[in-house]
Amino acid sequence: MSIDVVETLQDLVRIPSVNPMGRSVGGEDIYYEHRVTNYLEELFTRLGIAWERFTVAPLRDNFIARIDGSKSPEKGGKILLLEAHQDTVPIDGMTIDPFKAEVRDGRIYGRGACDIKGGMAAMITALARLAESKPRKRPTVVLACTINEEHGYSGALHLANLFRGKLPDLHSKLLPRVPDATIVAEPTKLNVVVAHKGAVRWRCHTGGVATHSSQPHLGDNAFYHMARVLQVLETYSRDVVPHLSQHPLVGHPTLSVGLINGGVSVNTVPDKCTIEIDRRVLPGENPETAYRHAVDYVNSVVAAGTPVTHDAPFLQSFGLNDDANGPLCERLGEVIRQHDGPGERIGVPFGTNGPQYAITGSPTVVFGPGSIDQAHTCDEWLDVGQLRTAADVLSDFVRQDW
């Protein structure tokens, strides 16, 4: 049974799978990934392709499908993993109907069209075509559609722990070991991403003594302490962080303060102030070490007695390192160029699920149709030509054994 990649993407866009991004959500029927997972289950049943699903959180299941290779993985056959996330960012402020999947002027519009239901539709199409005509010598091809990429990578982490055998009482029949190569779908304009940054994020607090603002001298203003901490962080981000290290494809590390909170009312001296700090780490840089370096810098430079504390990080993710994915990048790039795509070896600043698989020892690259410039936007869209090319590239690639 053959399927059309554009129709498949339209189906996927019309099924909301919005990630609440940590917000508490009520009865609205657009949140979480379960409807997309149900669609995948029905589709792969119709295609006659074996599948499994694994619950990671309520209404949030990872989905795995597989087409066996000419040689079983137990007898030395290779496993190629294709991975795409099922969730999208929220729809607040969108200027188009997020779930209509309208095709206009060579573009498909809708939330997730670019990030990354288009990449998922291309991967599904490649599997459907492979199921129809299997070459004599081919790898085992596994498609994994994971949950919660946009807010903490927990689906990818669960999948990686599953195939490494690190989850008690859980075992995947279809993906029984670390794959020999992994392609993660994200918008790369048909280039091959071999490196990207990771991140570490944490909260920093200053304290004080609350009092009525008519007699501020009796209190201790947490904002004034935070103002001094912020100046230290500004200097650190400008004069220190960029010089810590350098990577030829992704540049230097960065630090940014993105959120500030505190205060009760204008007539109360505040006794608490909190900021959230985002430090982007280079491939190969340890997020924990980067966090520790920043905390030590602040504590050593800010005036003695400043009541400043740092929480442990609430997010830590490694970057994607280009030390093991060269041959995979070359093979994929060659197929892309055969289809008149760019297929360049590049680095990008944004994070993906990729490092979760790379650190298990599976050579991993990121590839997909569309540009990150159109992801998460108020009129998100994907170029239909790029979508069709991505499907053709992957269809060819899954037929290659190596």
Binding mask 186-215 for Zn ion (x = CB under 5 A): x-----------------------------
Any contact of residue 12 with Zn ion (CB under 5 A)? Answer: no
Q: Checking DSSP bridges between strand 272-281 and strand 198-207, what pairing results, if any?
A: antiparallel
Task: Say how far apart CA 275 and CA 231 lie, in whole Å.
Answer: 13
Nearest CB to Zn ion, comparing residues 52 and 149: 149
Integer Cα distance of 44 and 37 in angstroms: 11
Q: Which is nearer to Zn ion, 160 or 241 (CB)?
A: 160
Contact (CB, 8 A) for 66 and 144: no
Between 273 and 375, name the residue whose CB sits nearer to Zn ion: 375
From 47-55, 88-96, 181-189, 209-217, give the range in contact with Zn ion by CB under 5 A: 181-189
Stretch in the footprint of Zn ion (CB under 5 A) among 14-22, 98-106, 184-192, 221-229:
184-192
Asked if 18 contacts 111 with a C-beta cutoff of 8 angstroms, the reply is yes
Give min distance, CB of 166 to Zn ion, in A: 25
Instruction: Output 11 or 186, the one with its CB closest to Zn ion.
Output: 186
Residue 185 CA: distances (Å) to CA of 166, 207, 371, 396: 24, 44, 12, 16
The helix/strand/coil state of 52 is strand
Dist. CA 384–CA 381, nearest whole Å: 9
The distance of closest approach from Cβ of residue 152 to Zn ion in the complex, given in angstroms and rounded to an integer, is 13
Q: Which of 115, 285, 322, 380 binds Zn ion (CB under 5 A)?
A: 115
Token output for 69: 């290779």
Q: Which stretch binds Zn ion (CB under 5 A): 182-190, 271-279, 328-336, 382-390?
A: 182-190
Give the whole-angstrom CA distance, residue 111 versus residue 309: 39
State the minimum distance, in angstroms, from the CB of residue 225 to Zn ion.
38
In the complex, what is the shortest distance from the CB of residue 14 to Zn ion, in angstroms, rounded to a whole number?
A: 19
Dist CA 37 CA 40 (whole Å) = 5
Considering the rule CB under 5 A, would residue 6 count as an interface residue with Zn ion?
A: no
11 or 115, CB closer to Zn ion?
Answer: 115
CB distance 177 to 73 below 8 Å: yes
Of 32-40, 108-116, 135-143, 159-167, the window that binds Zn ion (rule: CB under 5 A) is: 108-116
Of 159-167, 185-193, 227-235, 276-284, the segment contacting Zn ion by CB under 5 A is 185-193
Q: Which is nearer to Zn ion, 275 or 320 (CB)?
A: 320
300 contact partners, CB below 8 Å, separation of at least 6: none
Tokens matching residue 177? 């070991």
Q: Does residue 116 interact with Zn ion by CB under 5 A?
A: yes
Closer CB to Zn ion, residue 61 or residue 115? 115
Q: For Zn ion, which is the closer residue by CB, 116 or 128?
A: 116
Which DSSP state fits 303? P
When the beta carbons of 186 and 285 are compared against Zn ion, the nearer one is 186
Q: How far is the C-alpha of 214 from the C-alpha of 316, rounded, in Å?
A: 43
Q: What is the DSSP string of 192-206?
A: EEEEE-EEEEEEEEE
| Residue 384 Cβ vs Zn ion, minimum distance, rounded to whole Å | 19
Stretch that binds Zn ion, among 114-122, 153-161, 236-244, 300-308 (CB under 5 A): 114-122
Q: Exposed/middle/buried for 151, CB within 10 Å: 0-12, 13-18, 19+?
A: middle
Note the residues at the interface with Zn ion (CB under 5 A).
115-116, 186
